Amino acid sequence: MKMYFGCLIIVTFIFISTKIYGSATDLLIIFSGEELGNLEPCGCFEGQIGGISRRYALIDSFRKQKKIILPVSLGDLTKSSGRQEVIKMEILCYALERMDYILHNLGEKDLEVGPQLISYLSQTNKVAFLSSNVQITSPFPTKINKYVLKEYVDSKNSFKIAFLGILSKSFFNNNISDFVNIIEPIKALELLVKQLHDKANLIILLSHAPLGESIEIAKLFPEIGLIITGHGIEEPKDSITYVNNTAIVSSGTGGKYIGVAEYSINNKLAPLYAKVFTKSKSVEIIPLDNKYKDSLEMVSLLKDYQQMLMDEDLLSKTPQMPLLNGLSYVGNLTCGICHKLVYDHWSKTQHGVSYNTLVNKGHQYDPECIRCHTTGYGFISGFLNYENNQNLINVGCESCHGAGSEHVKNVSNVYGVTDESICDMCHDNEHSPEFQFKGYWERIKHPKEFLKKLPNP
């Protein structure tokens, strides 16, 4: 998955026309978006939903029903810039390709990974990049489609669907301003909707915008039959909105849900522009829970992702911040010299084996996971890699009580005061939604110990 840029020609596709043959009269628009880098459930608790492996299984189940399926992506495959996000975007684009996605609408987070990657992926991946109002101004050749046109054909009639995509100007930021121009979405849509009105039986908009902005677009353009929107919608099941006959829907964030909009196609009616050619049957938001078995193809791809993290040694390349007051980490074994009773108890708790849970899952080289399963990762003198920092694996004493170098020098100094806020750094809503301090504290609280008072050195 290395990026090659060679001598490539700058081409901006105005549309892609593809014929879809079949006798089925049911059409499924499958939509996802705003994965924000979530490739799979992290495994921190039971009952997690989402992941590309389950998504593949769901889409494959529709494919086996011999229905016409058109999977589309709203945008924001990643959540930020940086090397790990670049790798994730390559992996996710390849996954979309394997799941037969026809397009990916660019979000601001996609653009933040940089023009080089956008250029490379736009020319090497089979999934068309879409944006009706984004212009890439970098010197790297990039293929962005202003719209994508798909055609269904049988022995008597044809049926065309046009896909438009916009990025809200409210998401324009300094990270993309150097190589991106964003046209006002309304201005871009006015021209294209008028152009497509007599070319397509159904117009679908992927609106990478706040819900309120998508609602206003629906009011201005009744020709649009379906608007797929997002940004900040955590419970997409409760967010289906209608403006007249236009459904405004979302698949939420984090890749946890998949949306399915089903249409029936009446092949006996004409002319081409007639609205009665399509009838919306249903819109469903499906949680990707464990009833969808993991796809072996996606499991293999996820293993490739972890291998790439290991091969590039991203753990050691993560920037390390200095600790306040010149403190440094000393490691669990050092603490155990004086606090043997506490150390023995700790080693039998989940904190004491937290690194092994990553090893068992094959995620011990993943910087995103390692932060909450080791001591001091991201800080100078903290965990960097297993080879050099075996004394800092697991959620150790200093994870909760702070770096202990000064305490080792002067054990009589007050040290180690902690509170619930320290727990919240890892036990957040995403990774530990059922966390309750009182109940969890009972699992890890130290036994009482009696230490002999030592003289100051």
pLDDT tens-digit readout, 238-274: 778 999 989 999 999 999 999 999 988 765 544 443 3
Spacing of C-alpha 200 from chain mean position: 31
pLDDT score, position 411: 86
Averaged in consecutive runs of 10 residues, what is the pLDDT profile of the chain (457 residues)? 38 47 71 96 89 97 89 96 95 98 97 95 97 94 96 75 97 89 97 94 96 96 95 84 94 96 70 45 92 95 97 93 94 93 94 95 96 96 94 95 93 83 89 87 84 50
Domain ranges of the chain: 17-304, 323-444
Taking the domain 323-444, which CATH number applies? 1.10.1130.10
Instruction: Give pTM, 2 decimals.
Output: 0.88
pLDDT score, position 413: 79
pLDDT score, position 365: 97
pLDDT tens-digit readout, 6-34: 333 333 434 455 555 444 468 899 999 99
17-304 topology per CATH: Purple Acid Phosphatase; chain A, domain 2 (3.60.21)
